[in-house]
């Protein structure tokens, strides 16, 4: 084999290795912050996005509160509206499973944000919460203003398009006790079959690192 031929083979091998490395890195970057990706570990920094502070009403009690009142609690959140006949009831069923799985975790709160505050009255949300088995004080249904929801869902979490007539998402979001988004999960349609195990495991990691 000539020296020229050997050099060509070495160059091609180097090119192939470089392409494989680039694809691997690109894949990680493309997936960051999307379903199936999270930074929940004892050493990893939080993902972009926070549970921003704004006023809301706890549907079960009818009391005014702020999202900042959840500080110090790990939060599992979803986004819904009571007139939704497809995605939202199924999300509620999955949230109930999470409520059961985390029943002994006193430092965890489930929060369902209504994305249709014009039609979702506090009374309507309270009835919806009761119908779906939400335990008051543990799984909280909140009514807030659309502009505040846009700051959270669009500005912080990038889960919805602010120009769409209805904000909506089929994902659950995990926030740590400081309000940083740490995980995103898609529980519907078998997209992520292991989502619940991952979520429960991620909550356990956050609880461990907080103590």
Instruction: Report the mean per-residue pLDDT for the chain.
Output: 84
The single-letter DSSP state of residue 84 is -
Question: Does residue 169 surpass a pLDDT of 50?
Answer: yes
Domains along the sequence of the chain with CATH: 55-209 (3.40.30.10)
What's this model's pTM, rounded to 2 decimal places?
0.79
* pLDDT tens per residue across span 139-149: 999 999 999 99
Band (209; pLDDT cuts 50, 70, 90): confident
């Amino acid at each position: 084999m000539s020296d020229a031929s050997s050099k060509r083979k070495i160059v091609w091998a180097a090119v192939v290795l470089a392409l494989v490395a680039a694809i691997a890195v690109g894949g990680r970057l493309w997936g960051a912050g999307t379903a199936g990706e999270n930074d929940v570990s004892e050493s990893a920094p939080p993902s972009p996005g926070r549970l921003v502070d704004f006023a809301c009403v706890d549907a079960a009690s009818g009391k005014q509160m702020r999202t900042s009142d959840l500080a110090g609690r790990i939060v599992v959140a979803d986004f819904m509206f009571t007139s939704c006949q497809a995605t939202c009831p199924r999300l509620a069923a999955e949230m109930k499973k999470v409520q059961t799985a985390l029943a002994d975790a006193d430092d965890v709160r489930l929060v369902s944000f209504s994305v249709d505050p014009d039609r979702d009255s506090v009374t309507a949300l309270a009835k919806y919460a009761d119908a779906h088995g939400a335990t008051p004080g543990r799984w909280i249904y909140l009514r807030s203003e659309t502009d505040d929801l846009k700051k959270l869902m669009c500005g912080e979490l990038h889960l919805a398009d602010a120009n769409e007539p209805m904000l909506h998402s089929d994902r659950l979001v995990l926030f740590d006790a400081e309000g940083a988004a740490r995980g995103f999960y898609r529980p519907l349609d078998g997209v992520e079959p292991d989502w619940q195990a991952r979520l429960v495991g991620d909550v356990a990691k956050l609880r461990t690192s907080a103590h």
